[in-house]
A and B are shown apart, each in its own frame.
Chain A
Amino acid sequence: MDVGAAPRVQRKAVALLSGGLDSLLAARMMLDQGIHVEGINFFTGFCVEGHTHAVRKDRQRRVVRNNALHAASQLGIRLHIVDVIEEYKDIVLNPRHGYGAHLNPCLDCKGFMVGKAREWMETHGFDFIVTGEVLGQRPKSQRRDTFPVIARESGAFDRLLRPLSAQLLAPTLPEREGWVDRERLLKLSGRNRKPQIGMARAQGLDYAQPAGGCCFLTDANYARKLRDLWESRGDRRYDFDDIMLLKIGRHIRPRPHFKLIIGREEGENRFLEGYRHRFIHLFAADANGPIALLQGEAADEDLMLAAAITARFGQARHAESVRMTIVRPGADAQQRMVPPWPVDRFPREWYL
Chain B
Amino acid sequence: MPHLDARHLLCPMPVIRVSEQLRDLAAGTVLTVACTDPGALYDIPAWCRLEGHEVMESRVEPSGEIVIVIKVHA
With most chain A CB atoms within 10 A of its CB, the pick from B15, B37, B39 is: B39
Chain A hits for B39, CB < 8 A: 50, 53-54, 64-66
The answer to whether B47 touches A50 (Cβ under 8 A) is no
A302 sits at the interface (CB 8 A):
no
Tell me the smallest distance from the CB of A243 to a CB of chain B, in Å.
12
How far is B42's CA from A63's CA once the two chains are assembled, in angstroms? 9
The interface on chain A, measured as residues whose beta carbon lies within 8 A of the other chain's beta carbons, has a size of: 28
Q: Which residue of A lies closest to B15 (CB)?
A: A81
The answer to whether B38 touches A64 (Cβ under 8 A) is yes
The interface on chain B, measured as residues whose beta carbon lies within 8 A of the other chain's beta carbons, has a size of: 18
How far is B36's CA from A274's CA once the two chains are assembled, in angstroms? 12
Residue-wise, chain A 106-120 has the 8 Å CB interface mask toward B (1 for contact) of: 000000000000000
Chain A hits for B10, CB < 8 A: 50-51, 54-55, 244
Chain A hits for B51, CB < 8 A: 78
Q: Which residue of A lies closest to B11 (CB)?
A: A50
In the complex, which of the residues A60, A66, A76, A78 contacts B11, with contact meaning CB atoms closer than 8 Å?
A66
A209 sits at the interface (CB 8 A):
no
B43 sits at the interface (CB 8 A):
yes
A73 sits at the interface (CB 8 A):
yes
A72-B50, A73-B50, A77-B50 known; A64 vs B12 contact (CB < 8 Å): no
B16 sits at the interface (CB 8 A):
yes
How far is B37's CA from A77's CA once the two chains are assembled, in angstroms? 24
Tell me the smallest distance from the CB of B40 to a CB of chain A, in Å.
9
The 8 sampled A-B contact pairs (Cβ below 8 Å) are A51-B10, A54-B10, A54-B37, A65-B42, A68-B12, A69-B50, A70-B46, A79-B47
A residues apposed to B, CB below 8 Å:
41, 43, 49-51, 53-55, 60, 63-66, 68-70, 72-73, 76-83, 244, 274
B residues apposed to A, CB below 8 Å:
8, 10-13, 15-16, 19, 37-39, 42-43, 46-47, 49-51
